[in-house]
Amino acid sequence: MSTLRISGLQKAFDGHPVLHGIDLSVKSGSLVALLGPSGSGKTTLLRVLCGFERADAGTIEIDGKRVAGEGLHLPTEQRHIGYVPQEGALFPHLTVAENIVFGLPRSQRRAQHRAAELLELVGLPESYATRAPQQLSGGQQQRVALARALAPSPGLVMLDEPFSSLDATLRIETREAVARALAAAGATAVLVTHDQAEALSLGHEVAVLWRGRLLQTASPQALYRRPVTRELATFIGEAVLLPGSVSGSRAHCVLGTLPVVDGSSHTDGEVDVMLRPEQIEVLPATAQRDGALDALVREISFQGQDAALTLQLIDSPTTVRARVPGYRTPRPGERVRLAVGGEVSVYPR
């Protein structure tokens, strides 16, 4: 297990800055999800960390050893990093076991050192050792790619959107298996992804990269509940943004007077109030609840386990989005009541 420390990292291509002074620390044995939209610089940061690209400025330390800095660029093979590419990139002419031991010294390759152990670690049977990669599903190939990355016992593992090509069910199954394997190996890992659900479910911490700058690094819960900007709030998940005002620890908007989340920095005055759709409880029209508001169901997007609703407040042009369990989906045009639970975030207008 290794720690990773990045300080002031910068990188440009043809004079166009891609990374702007990145600072990030990854604790030993933890998994940090590096999240950002396409073009935010995620892959560039990963390539610089791995040594595939040279940093223009800043430093990188792995387990206290500087591998990049002023006048220093340690080659990839000397950084002791395991790398899992997007498509797995297994060699089709080698068996599964031969792929796993490919990066080991020749004597260990001949003995297929730890191949059976690593297959078990990533949740595959030992019998798969003699198979060709093309005989495996996409998810199984990604597990083999992880086993290959773990074979040299690296201090740090980098995963470059390893689940993006898998279908939804296989993606969930594979990422759970990968998370278990990384935890069992005690590996320190950085997962690059543009998938918010993936980042929030896998990362011990999530670092959000936005236009080459690191906007926020926090636990998944803190990031979802207390995003530092309204743009980040809408990127991390669906957000309901309403004009309002704040005084003290209370926000005032069309949905009522609501508590502001602890740690939310603000000054009294006009704000945008942010809450999540699942905070809006949809009640029967006859429900009696202090502070509940009357609304009409305008649109429904049924998604099986749940449904997204567009609701218009009675006697108001304001519409809001709410989410309900699939079995409690109301009908279009139905009159309902709304109540808000939990705390809200606020952003100065």
Q: How far is CA 68 from CA 71, 207, 293, in A?
A: 8, 21, 58
User: What pLDDT band is residue 265 in, cutting at 50, 70 and 90?
Assistant: low
Q: Nearest Cα to 51, choosing from 23, 31, 79, 14? A: 79
Segment 126-156, tens digit of pLDDT: 999 999 999 999 889 999 999 999 988 888 9
User: What pLDDT band is residue 263 in, cutting at 50, 70 and 90?
Assistant: low
Do the domains spanning 4-225 and 239-348 agree at the CATH topology level?
Answer: no
pLDDT at residue 304 greater than cutoff 80: yes
Distance CA 38, CA 44 (A): 11
User: What pLDDT band is residue 106 in, cutting at 50, 70 and 90?
Assistant: confident
- Is 173 or 35 the better-scoring residue by pLDDT? 35
Longest CA pairwise span in the chain (Å): 78
The domain 239-348: what is its CATH number?
Answer: 2.40.50.140
pLDDT at residue 264 greater than cutoff 90: no
pLDDT at 277: 97
pLDDT at 111: 66
Q: List the domain boundaries for the chain.
A: 4-225, 239-348
Q: Percentage of the chain surpassing pLDDT 70?
A: 98
3-state per-residue secondary structure call for the chain? CCCEEEEEEEEEECCEEEEEEEEEEECCCCEEEEECCCCCCHHHHHHHHHCCCCCCEEEEEECCEEEEECCEECCHHHCCEEEECCCCCCCCCCCHHHHHCCCCCHHHHHCCCCHHHHHHHCCCCHHHHHCCHHHCCHHHHHHHHHHHHHCCCCCEEEEECCCCCCCHHHHHHHHHHHHHHHHHHCCEEEEEECCHHHHHHHCCEEEEEECCEEEEEECHHHHHHCCCCHHHHHHHCCCEEEEEEEECCEEEECCEEEEECCCCCCCCEEEEEEECHHHEEEEECCCCCCCCEEEEEEEEEECCCEEEEEEEECCCCCEEEEEEEHHHCCCCCCEEEEEECCCEEEEEC
What pTM did the predictor assign?
A: 0.88
The CATH fold assigned to 4-225 is: Rossmann fold (3.40.50)
